[in-house]
Structure 1
Amino acid sequence: MAAESDDATTRSVPEWLIPPPDGFTADEFLQMRGLPRHTELIDGSLVFVSPQRKWHGRVILLLVNELDEQAPDGMRADHQMSVKLGERQCPEPDVLVVSEESLNRAERDTHYLADEVVLAVEVVSPESKERDRETKPLKYAAAGIRHFWRVEEDESQRHAVVYVHQLDLATRAYALTGIFHERLKISVPFDIDIDLTSAWERRRRP
């Protein structure tokens, strides 16, 4: 009976859930259809995410709006798009700053390449702490993405705390350049000034 039960369980698993011996390639992953939203490919394996919390969504909205508004000509902000980093790596940063050309092109509109990404941002959720703090920054750095932010929640205030990192080209590792609690004001990759306490405020038209 146990064997029959195991067979039934195996048959109920979708075929795309079972990776080949060497894992999925990024090209195979990008051609898959019917995956749950925000599925990522890390080291050839599919990674699924939990439903998004309100705080997570509001912070993403704040950052993508502010970065897109403040970005200079030639750069644009986007969010939750896959980035092909390598043969078996295709994560999905929460927020990105990319070249304007790559954002506007009609072809290959399902993902970006690493050299098109100026900044990758991860907004940490309870289930993604290890990936956002350890795994994904290593992948972004190895792929040569120059700027990386990790955003954590100040649970007492619900404000976003932003950990700003810049790539050390000699070591291909990120160096922490600042921690920002209420206001994020920096000059790289361009002049940025964001009120981190405003994620829950309503944006009004002038």
Structure 2
Amino acid sequence: MRSPQTNFHMLMVNLLVDRDRGIRPPSHLAVAREMSITLGLRQRPEPDVLVVKKEALSDLRRTSYRPEEVQLVVEVVSPDSEERDRTTKPINYSDAGIRYLWRIELEDQEPVAYTFELEPSVRAYVPTGIHRKRLTTYVGFDVDIDLDLSPFIG
């Protein structure tokens, strides 16, 4: 069952998947949303946004991706998912070998993006940045996103 979503959650996901303002991967990758990752027999989390290998989109009946097809997972934190998004999910994603993770939270009515990269020798995420106003980082490709949500509000 999904956690109730806030306006912040909905607008942030819309920004990230927006072709002009959001994540713009190279041609061999694609941005996906509302898709799960099969981590185990009874373990299929559904990140808010993913960057996956483009060939993973070829089977239109698929409902899930394998961890090795996923380059980046993004969790936009809602009040009811805060504990899972901060603790449980990062452990599960790092155990699966997913290289990049972003956690985006609302702080004083503004987005804050926490970015992480998998440190392979310990199979754990290490912080790579805390981003306010603008998210500029590297996830196998350069990212530069203005985090201002006002264009989506009106």
Fold in common (TM above 0.5): yes
Structure 2 counterpart of 1:201: 151
- 1:103 Cα deviation after fit: 1.7
1:102 corresponds to 2:53? no
Alignment partner for residue 186 of structure 1, among 130, 137, 143? Answer: 137
Residue 189 of structure 1: how far off its partner (Å): 2.2
Residue aligned with 2:81, SS: helix
Shift of 1:49: 2.6
C-alpha displacement of 1:89: 1.1
Q: Which has the higher helix share?
A: 1
RMSD across aligned C-alpha pairs, in angstroms? 1.4
Paired position in structure 1 for 2:122 = 171
Identity %: 46
Deviation of 1:190 after TM superposition, in Å, equals 0.7
| Counterpart among 108, 112, 122 of residue 65 in structure 2 | 112
d(CA) in 1 for partners of 2:6, 2:42? 28
Of the candidates 74, 82, 104, which is equivalent to residue 129 of structure 1?
82
Is residue 85–residue 114 contact of structure 1 (8 Å, CA) maintained in 2? yes
| Count of residues paired in the alignment | 150
Return the offset for 1:99: 0.6
What's the counterpart of residue 57 of structure 1? 10
SS at match of 1:55: helix
Structure 1: state its 5+ residue gaps.
1-47
**Structure 2 residue runs without a partner (length 5+):** none
Match of 1:171, as an amino acid?
Answer: V
> 2:47 is paired with a residue of what secondary structure?
coil
Task: Name which one, 1 or 2, has greater alpha-carbon Rg.
Answer: 1
Q: What is the TM-score normalised by the length of structure 1?
A: 0.70
Amino acid at match of 2:150: W
* 1:92-115 Cα distance to aligned partner (Å, 9 max, x none): 0000000111023234x1111111
Whole-Å Cα distance in 1 between the matches of residues 98 and 152 of structure 2?
32
Matched, 1:82 2:33: no
Q: 4+ runs of 1 displaced by more than 4 Å?
A: none
CA distance in 1, matches of 2:150, 2:65: 30
Greater strand share, structure number: 2
Distance in 1, Cα, partners of 2:60 & 2:152:
33
